[in-house]
Structure 1
Amino acid sequence: MASASSSIIPPPQPPRSSSYSYHVFLSFRGPDTGNRFTNHLYSALDRKGIRTYKDDKKLRIGDVISDELEKAIEESMFAIIVFSPDFATSSWCLDEVCKIIECKNKLGLQMVEVFYGVEPCDVRHQIGTFREAFQKHERKGFHESEKIQRWRDALKQVTAHSGWTSKNHPNL
């Protein structure tokens, strides 16, 4: 796993500020990948001395989750987004993608996409489990078409970049 982790992180770009709290921010849907792929990725990055924000490791009881996550994204050099079948069921995950895109555009945050058990076109076009998740959000009261459209646009922007798919690596 250590060799795979080093190949998915692009070379560093000139820093946007003199210091970062984290080298990498991991965005993932815990029930899908948290105890498997994401834990292995986090461990491999940690062994290499790469400071990585993984919300189940860094959040303290009582923290306001959205504020803490936004701050961690802003203070990271890279974001690795692990898209999985149920990723879009989480409004937190979708909000993270929006924040990552914002920081990419404003602060130069670099990002890497990992498609774990889904195809890039599923995410880009919101088909399959992504379509089902958006339909559920709409039924649950996320009728704010502006918020849903921001999520859709962010997913399209992220998938405009080449990513890494688990399909090409069946042992993951």
Structure 2
Amino acid sequence: MASKSSSGSIPPPPRACTYHVFLSFRGEDARGRFTSHLYDALNRKGITTYRDDNNLRKGNVISDELLKAIEESMFAIIVLSPNYASSTWCLDELCKILDCKNKLGLQMVTVFYGVEPSVVRHQIGTFQKAFKKHKKRHDREKVQRWREALKQVADYSGWTSKNQ
């Protein structure tokens, strides 16, 4: 009979990971620039990376495929850019990433691309404009969840691009 560890806690079972990295980004801000270069560099190193290339889909509901890709990733890179908060898909992805971080041990890093962490944390500038629109279209609880998720990731240490 196997004995329990001295702490009494059992580590979560290993999970199947299809992807090493899930990239979360706002396509119009970063797709042809930073994110494409990052994606290519990761793939050259043999790092299996999920990038949502289907930017033709419309609607407010994040796809099941995206949710599954987040769950099946070991690591998430969140590229926060000036228009990130204007996308409800990005905000839903962010909430799912944080949920997987807490429940599944998903590791994450934040890149501030063309935006300062304080702008994200305090949701000023383009983030403030985006949330004014969201408040008109979405329920208060959902908007608050998105706000809290942005504050949380802005508090993690990450990289700031300084427009490089």
TM-score tier by shorter-chain length is 0.7 to 0.9
Q: CA RMSD in A?
A: 2.1
Query: Is 1:150 matched up with 2:137?
Result: no
TM-superposed deviation, 1:19: 3.1
Aligned to 2:88: 91
Query: Is 1:67 matched up with 2:80?
Result: no
TM-superposed deviation, 1:135: 0.6
Query: Is 1:137 matched up with 2:134?
Result: yes
The answer on whether the counterparts of 2:62 and 2:92 sit within 8 Å (CA) in structure 1 is no
1:113-171 superposed Cα distances (whole Å, 9 cap, x missing partner): 000000001111111110111011123x11x000000001111111121010001xx5x
Query: Is 1:41 matched up with 2:29?
Result: no
Aligned to 1:81: 78
Aligned counterparts of 1:72 and 1:128: Cα–Cα separation in 2: 31
Greater C-alpha radius of gyration:
2
Aligned counterparts of 1:98 and 1:65: Cα–Cα separation in 2: 11
> What SS class does the counterpart of residue 155 from structure 2 fall into?
coil
Query: Is 1:163 matched up with 2:161?
Result: no
Give the gaps of 5 or more residues in structure 2.
1-10
Count of matched residue pairs: 150
- TM (norm. structure 2) is 0.85
Q: Percent identity?
A: 70
Tell me the amino acid that sits aligned with residue 122 of structure 2.
Answer: H
Displaced runs of 4 or more, over 4 A = none
1:72-95 superposed Cα distances (whole Å, 9 cap, x missing partner): 000000000000000000000000
Q: 1:107 aligns with which of 104, 120, 144?
A: 104
- TM (norm. structure 1) is 0.82
Q: Name whichever of 37-46 and 152-161 sits farther off.
A: 152-161
Tell me the amino acid that sits aligned with residue 123 of structure 1.
Answer: V
